[in-house]
Amino acid sequence: MLLLFIGIYLLSNIAVGAWAARRVTNTQDFVLAGRSLPLVLAASATFATWFGSETIMGAPATFVENGVLGIIEEPFGSALCLFLVGAFYARPLYRLGITTFCDYFRLRFGRSAELISALLIIPSYFSWIAAQFIAIGIVMNVVTGLPIFWCVSSSALIVMIYTILGGMWSISVTDFFHNIIIVIALVIIAVMLYGQLGSLEALTSKVRPGFFQFFPNLTLKHSLEWVAAWMTIGLGSIPQQDIFQRVMAAKDEPTTVRASYLASFLYLTVAMLPLFIGLSGRILYPNLNIDNQMLIPNMVLQHGGLPLQILFFGALTSAILSVSSGAILAPATVFGENIYKFFRPEVTDAALLRTIRLAVVVITLISVWMSTQRDVSIFELVSESSAFSLVSLFVPLTAGLYWKRATNAGCLLSMLAGIGVWLLCLKLETDYPPMLYGLLASVGGMVAGSVVRKTAGQFSPHIPD
């Protein structure tokens, strides 16, 4: 019975995709929902950027194992990212009427910056998408007993189909309903667990000393690791295309700013529920599956009634697929708009739309393969994806908006220096977080390249008001 209802949930995504396909008449409709989303849908879609496997499975597992200091990155860093997007990035980027971040790099720094930024953005998504597929594979394996490979493959097929059909329209509508259902399920579970605990003191008294410590120990290493945790998603996800598409799909400039703020607030509130549920479940049911990533799903499966199981697993699987859909659409859009169109500027809009849809298929297949090749946590995969964009794209984007002297040479040197130093530090396994070295190299590249060589005649949309 549970499997039947999960199947209905998943097939409903395809139905939504088929409905949304009727609203897709051009590339802008497919990629940005025609820039017509009202506040509710825009905020819901932005909030749902990470509200899937990371928030419901990855973060609670890390919280149970490492306490509050382990979850600075998610959900606190995620909330910081969405707030900063609304405060400093959404308004000036929305005014430009662009489709991708790479379009901005073309306008501000030239075509070479556009191409290199596109080549950097696309691979940053594969780890993220693989994390979602791993999550859905684990969940479906627990529910159905089928091999994880087939669970991943069938789920990926579903998300690929409805993404191809409706694009951002599919994502926005499904996100709205999935968010409502999953929040209802989490509230019900949290209330049930609180009733069994009797009080918050019963929870806090059973954790190790320092479990709820928010600030790090006053050593250089711990302090830098804490700062790096804030920056991983807090800054690293700002120049990611999926957030850009969700925010830029709003109907007007004030709506895009409000949607970012509202999504940030939701992350600071709703995302606390899985953390409470995970910790309560570990204390109340210590004999549950030792894989903490499956703590909440296993608890619902073993101790929840059928109605709650249907509500939770249906919404969870659908939510993860919605996150996957946005993550797949983002690099597919960049490939079409900034790589294919770069070499084929005469391409028609209809041909461009077909190219983006084909890229959706290819990216899905690559991500499915990646999800079967690596044995790391969901949390680590998401961190890896955000760190990639932090060291390569964050500084050029920010400097381009807020530093008039930023040049094409500075942009290119910043990208290449940041990613090069980060990769080197990863290989060397440095004592301090590699992303800090990469970020410093990116800043140094921007300053050095811009001061040494000022490129004349560039369009500079300096609109930080």
Does residue 266 form part of some domain? yes
Please provide the average confidence, as pLDDT, over all residues in the chain.
Answer: 85
Tell me what pLDDT residue 369 has. 87
Does residue 35 form part of some domain? yes
Interhelix angle for 378-389 vs 111-124, to 10°? 170
Does residue 133 form part of some domain? yes
| Model confidence at 402: pLDDT above 90 | yes
User: Which two three-digit tokens encode residue 89?
Assistant: 């990035």
**What does the pLDDT look like over 25-83, one tens digit per residue?**
888 888 888 888 899 989 988 888 777 777 888 788 889 889 999 899 888 999 999 99
C-alpha span between 246 and 265 (Å, rounded): 16
Tell me what pLDDT residue 286 has. 80
Does residue 15 form part of some domain? yes
- Comparing CA positions, the residue from 332, 339, 361, 2 lying closest to residue 160 is 361
* Bridge partners for 250 per DSSP: 37
Distances (CA, A) of 178 to 23, 187, 313, 323: 21, 14, 11, 11
**What does the pLDDT look like over 297-352, one tens digit per residue?**
888 888 778 888 888 887 788 778 778 888 899 999 999 999 999 999 999 999 99
| Cα first-last separation, the chain | 55
User: Which two three-digit tokens encode residue 349?
Assistant: 């809009």
Provide the number of structural domains found in the chain.
1
Q: CB 351: neighbour CB atoms within 10 A?
A: 15
Is-cis flag, bond preceding 60, omega within 30? Answer: no
Please give the average per-residue pLDDT across 170-188, as a whole number. Answer: 83
C-alpha span between 198 and 375 (Å, rounded): 38
pLDDT band at residue 378 under the 50/70/90 scheme: low
C-alpha span between 233 and 236 (Å, rounded): 5
pTM: 0.88
**What does the pLDDT look like over 109-130, one tens digit per residue?**
999 999 999 998 888 888 778 8
- Let me know how long the chain is: 465
- Comparing CA positions, the residue from 146, 165, 89, 103 lying closest to residue 325 is 165
- Comparing CA positions, the residue from 110, 95, 17, 161 lying closest to residue 456 is 110
Does residue 405 form part of some domain? no
Domain ranges, residue 127: 2-379
Does residue 103 form part of some domain? yes
Kindly state the DSSP code that residue 88 receives in the 8-state scheme.
I
Does residue 132 form part of some domain? yes
- Sorted by sequence, the CB contacts under 8 Å of residue 266 that are 6+ apart come out as 43, 47
> Which residue, chain included where needed, has tokens 């073993």?
302
Does residue 457 form part of some domain? no
User: Which two three-digit tokens encode residue 448?
Assistant: 């050095």
Q: CATH number of the domain at 119, please.
A: 1.20.1730.10
- Sorted by sequence, the CB contacts under 8 Å of residue 407 that are 6+ apart come out as 109, 449, 450, 453, 454, 455, 458
Kindly state the DSSP code that residue 250 receives in the 8-state scheme.
B
- Is the separation of the CB atoms in 173 and 325 below 8 Å? no
Alpha helices (H) in 110-213, listed in sequence order: 111-124, 126-144, 148-197, 200-204
